[in-house]
Structure 1
Amino acid sequence: MNDFMTPQETARRASAAVDAAVGAGRDLGLTVTDARVLHDLFSVVVHLAPSPVVARIPVVLPPGTDLDALAHRQRAELDVTRWLAAQGTPVIPPSPLVPREPVRRDGFSMTFWQFVEEDRGREPDYAANAESVAKLHAAMRGYPGRLSFLSAAEPQTLAEDLARLDGRPDLIDPSDLDRARREWRVLEPLVSSRTAFEKAFPGIGIQPIHGDSPPANIFSGADGDLYSDFELVTLGPVEWDLAALGPEIESAYDRGARRNGVRELDGDVLRFVNAVGMLRAIAALALAPQLPVLVEYLGPAVDQWRTTPFAGGMAD
């Protein structure tokens, strides 16, 4: 089946997102004469220069994505980052130059952020980042807003993406897909129900967490590191934010946890979140027709998953 977007089609998609962001920014009173794409993968991120504003426009989404539901998630991100910034936590904050609300235009739902100059000469130090994430978790414990339990796992979307992979041997071997579906039947109840999770893991606290691998989402600003990309902010165990990053990163987090007064990682919960994280990588293959590079990006994750215990050992 050859339904993969061509480079020309993905370029047109990015151009349409930029045009929508420029138009929305101008409607909001921003001066935009030199828009510049900073990043283009799952989202198009564009600096609306010369205004110190960055628009982020999600462009790779499951078919039939409800833009109202997307906007709800974007509002949570805007509120959490606004609150963290007000507490003095180093985050990339929403832009103060426009209303802190998602904006819909031309079929896109976008958010607007303060432009921060990047220190492009620095290589990420993921161990140091993981230590820092413990401090972020300590700060997030006080967030007063309402968040859903493990919405970052996107259980409905995950199930639908696995279904879309049926009959797609070009994306995943049928035997691998069968295993993934069987694993999801084991793991889904603990993802979808806080009560079931707390019964399976008694004494493991639930709190607001970043939701999307924060050690990999720390922005190297010219004036210091900033936490960024809270698109999947959620309630959950802190282990979720360290899923699939390996023992070295887990140990680094524990050092930060001891220093910042949060609990260290629990091995049983890590096995659970690692297993769910692997399934999310498998399910993401369903988005490869929209983003063909995913086949290459996710190949190593699929190979690693094949070597792991079934459902992370949760079925034992």
Structure 2
Amino acid sequence: MYDAQMPTSSLTPADLQARTARAVTAAVNAGLALGLKAAQPKVLHDVFSVVVHLAPAPVVVRVPVVLPPGLDASRQTARQARELAVVSWLDSHGLPVVRPSPLVPCEPVQRDGFSMTFWEFVEVDPSRTPDYVAEAALAARLHAVLRGYPGELPFLSPLAATLPTCLALLEENPGLLPPADIERARGEWALLSPLLSTREGFAAKFPQVSVQPIHGDAPSYNVLRTAEGVRYADFEDVTLGPVEWDLSFLGPQGAAVYDAAAAQVGVRALDPAALRVVDAARMLQMVVCHALVPQLPMLAEGLAPSLQAWRDTPFAGGLA
């Protein structure tokens, strides 16, 4: 896979442009091989993934290009297959989602060193303004449906599968973060990992908090707003875990909105203690994402406010 070997120095603008061009070419070639018309490809998004509309076909290809360390080809394919399976199941149960494209097989496609997935093209309504706090209610509705998903999912994979490898990469590559930050991050993960690395460890600390299939990456943010309404999207991190993980960083107002919506759809209310733990873990996750800066240099500037906020908070969010 393209990024199997992590760069040790930051990619240049020319490197990034070349990577995007390779991803677009791979998406077009894969689409053509599957019988799609893709004469006018258009890049819709280019950050962690290159997202390409294979116009005039009503198909969008998501090509991940910035990958966490340790995510080899087989794990990447398994992750994408889980996403496709969950979204297909949600669609069959009436949830408004951005669906896998019905024009190609519902499976990851490998081409030119990339692994990609194919989705239906959805027209976004630019006049619809996001309100992430108010839209915390969307997470409750999603959780109500996801509870019934019968497939197997790993426990908190966005955290447990990537945070230790990112932390190790930071330790191996001095300069991405100051030593004091790395030392603090290591200490926080030592405190949090027994609680969040396994389902058994979480249950031992929070026996009163149920776990279930969850979106894995802030569902009130990862939606597309269309003229017909909201579509849930981007289930790359779908996982088993406490619903609190999907509500991190939304604050007391977001939690109140979620709890009100949860009561209406029969989902349990948020547990304040569990929410504090996942908030601390999410903050730590943002910090160790600096390990990805060589692959995506613009990430350093984007992470700067979170890094400073983390430095200004007590160790592990005051949990110690």
Map residues 253-264 of structure 1 onto 2, 5 A cutoff. Answer: 253-264=258-269
Q: Quote the offset at 1:50 in angstroms.
A: 0.6
Counterpart-to-counterpart distance in 1, 2:169 and 2:211: 32
**Quick one: distance in 1 between partners of 2:83 and 2:122?**
18
Structure 1 stretch displaced more, 180-189 or 250-259: 250-259
- Contact kept in structure 1, 2:69 and 2:166, CA below 8 Å: no
Select the residue among 285, 288, 295 that pairs with 1:283. 288
Counterpart mapping for 1:71-220 below 5 A = 71-153=77-159, 155-166=160-171, 170-220=175-225
How far is the alpha carbon of 1:3 from its aligned partner? 1.8
2:250 maps to 1:230: no
Give distance in 1, aligned partners of 2:105 and 2:126.
30
Distance between the aligned counterparts of 1:238 and 1:132, measured in 2? 12
Unaligned runs of 5+ in 2: 1-6
Counterpart in the other structure of 1:297: 302
Q: Does the Cα contact within 8 Å between 1:271 and 1:313 map onto a contact in 2? A: no
Shift of 1:128: 2.6
Count how many residue pairs are aligned between Structure 1 and Structure 2: 314
Secondary structure at the counterpart of residue 215 of structure 1: coil
Q: Does 1:30 align with 2:36?
A: yes
Q: Distance in 2 between matches of 1:81 and 1:128?
A: 24
| Cα root mean square deviation, aligned | 1.5
Deviation at 1:246, TM superposition (A): 1.9
Q: 1:270 aligns with which of 272, 275, 279?
A: 275
Cα distance in 2 between the residues matched to 1:62 and 1:238: 23
Q: Is the 8 A contact 1:134 1:256 kept in 2?
A: yes
Counterpart of 1:269, as a letter, is: A
In structure 2, distance between residues paired with 1:168 and 1:63: 13
In 2, distance between residues paired with 1:62 and 1:2? 13
The alpha-carbon distance between structure 1 residues 62 and 251, as it changes in their structure 2 partners (threshold 3 A), is same
Unaligned segments of structure 1, at least 5 residues: none
TM-score calculated relative to the size of structure 2: 0.94
Between 219-228 and 46-55, the greater mean CA deviation after superposition:
219-228
The whole-number CA distance in structure 2 between the counterparts of 1:2 and 1:167 is 10
Question: Could you tell me how far apart the structure 2 residues matched to 1:165 and 1:141 are?
Answer: 36
Q: CA–CA distance in 2 between the matches of 1:64 and 1:237?
A: 24
* Structure 1 residue 228 displacement after superposition: 0.3
TM-score, scaled relative to structure 1: 0.96
Distance 1:172 1:10 in 2: 22
What's the CA shift string for 1:250-297, capped at 9, x where partnerless?
Answer: 222122112221111111101110111111111110100110111111
The structural deviation recorded for 1:62 is 2.8
- Distance, in Å, in 1 between the alignment partners of 2:101 and 2:287 is 35
1:167: Cα distance to partner?
Answer: 6.5
